[in-house]
């Protein structure tokens, strides 16, 4: 039995992220004697949803192989949130145009990032980091002094629940299903995987590598823009620092969730396990009364350990 479980875990390493999240949840609720367990679960699902949205785009980028990472996600979230709130202007009638504006902001950032990568031959990690400074500067100039509340319907959706389940979590599951179909059932998704497995073989097989990489960075920034709009709706407005925690989180949920850092293999479902693990870890340390300094150190060490263990899993790169 133990051998079967070990073999299953090796075939489906993303399961471990759900197991870890469950263990942490049980430890937390045991410490509180079950008090507030439902609230912890609901809050975890809400914040995990935001991690997953940001992580989905990052997953596509990392799947393309070593060197591919999008470090502009936090600044894109901040800018898109500010744009969405300004376009919506607190009006229910302008909710859809505001979301469209946030998505368009993401598209523009993605195009800019890939222009730096392709036209200037800058490595992706440097290009997206450099681009993030410019995007963040734009967000500061655009959003300084911005104090606009989201439309009531939009705020109700971002904070509401259906049968105890956060609506934002339900919406994120739908987005995940769509992205899973894109990844595994479309030419684009299979091309992303092929590039990650062997970029030279992908070119020889007729994959339009440059076009696929361009679309992937645009997709990542677009999902970050969507995350920014949703975060602004949930938080009661946009803020310039609301994307800060998503720099590490967007990478951590991808790697811990079972996507190979070597490229060529990715897992959508694992993003949820990793996102729940990250949020519940912080919740557990808070519940145990760990101070802010030690808590940050312990959180960082545990995340590094989890990423290291996840990253040690190799996938075939034929």
Residue 95's CATH number:
1.10.3470
Identify the band that residue 249 occupies on the pLDDT scale cut at 50, 70 and 90.
Answer: confident
3 domain residue, yes or no: no
The residues near 276 (Cβ < 8 Å, ≥ 6 apart) are 17, 18, 21, 25, 44, 45, 48
End-to-end CA distance of the chain: 32
56 domain residue, yes or no: yes
For residue 250, which of 107, 120, 77 has the smallest C-alpha distance? Answer: 77
Within the chain, how many helices (H) and strands (E) appear? 14, 2
Percent of the chain with pLDDT over 70: 91
Q: pLDDT value at position 156?
A: 94
| Cβ–Cβ under 8 Å, residues 44 and 37 | no
Task: Summarize pLDDT for 34-58 with one digit per residue, the tens.
Answer: 788 888 898 999 999 999 999 999 9
Q: pLDDT value at position 315?
A: 45
Q: Indicate the number of domains in the chain.
A: 1
Task: Summarize pLDDT for 111-153 with one digit per residue, the tens.
Answer: 999 999 988 888 999 999 999 999 999 988 887 767 889 999 9
- Domain range enclosing 184: 14-311
Identify the band that residue 297 occupies on the pLDDT scale cut at 50, 70 and 90.
Answer: confident
Q: How would you write 85-147 as a 3-class SS string?
A: HHHHCCCHHHHHHHHHHHHHHHHHHHHHHHHHHHHCCCCHHHHHHHHHHHHHHHHHHHHCCCC
Identify the band that residue 11 occupies on the pLDDT scale cut at 50, 70 and 90.
Answer: low
């Amino acid at each position: 039995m133990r051998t079967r479980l070990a073999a299953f875990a090796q075939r489906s390493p993303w399961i471990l992220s759900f197991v870890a999240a469950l263990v942490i949840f049980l430890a937390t609720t045991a410490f509180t004697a079950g008090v507030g367990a439902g609230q912890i679960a609901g809050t975890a699902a809400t914040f995990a949803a935001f991690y997953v949205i940001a992580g989905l785009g990052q997953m596509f980028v990392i799947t393309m192989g070593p060197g591919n990472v999008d470090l502009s996600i936090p600044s894109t979230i901040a800018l898109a949130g500010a744009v969405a709130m300004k376009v919506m202007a607190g009006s229910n009638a302008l909710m859809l145009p505001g979301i469209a504006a946030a998505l368009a902001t993401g598209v523009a950032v993605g195009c800019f990032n890939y222009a730096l990568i392709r036209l200037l031959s800058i490595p992706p990690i440097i290009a997206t980091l450099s681009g993030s400074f410019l995007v963040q500067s734009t967000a500061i100039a655009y959003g300084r002094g911005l104090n606009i509340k989201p439309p009531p319907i939009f705020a109700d959706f971002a904070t509401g629940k259906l049968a105890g389940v956060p609506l934002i979590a339900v919406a994120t599951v739908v987005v995940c299903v769509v992205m899973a179909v894109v990844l595994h059932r479309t030419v684009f998704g299979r091309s992303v995987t092929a590039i990650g497995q062997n970029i030279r073989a992908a070119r020889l097989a007729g994959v339009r590598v440059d076009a696929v990489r361009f679309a992937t960075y645009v997709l990542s920034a677009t999902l970050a823009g969507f995350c920014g709009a949703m975060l602004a709706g949930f938080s009661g407005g946009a803020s310039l620092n609301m994307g800060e925690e998503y720099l590490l989180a967007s990478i951590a949920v991808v790697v811990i969730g079972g996507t190979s850092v070597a490229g060529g293999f990715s897992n959508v479902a694992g993003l949820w396990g990793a996102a729940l693990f990250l949020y519940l870890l912080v919740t557990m340390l808070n519940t145990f009364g760990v101070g802010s300094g030690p808590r940050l150190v312990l959180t960082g060490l545990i995340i590094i350990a989890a990423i290291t263990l996840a990253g040690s899993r190799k996938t075939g790169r034929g």
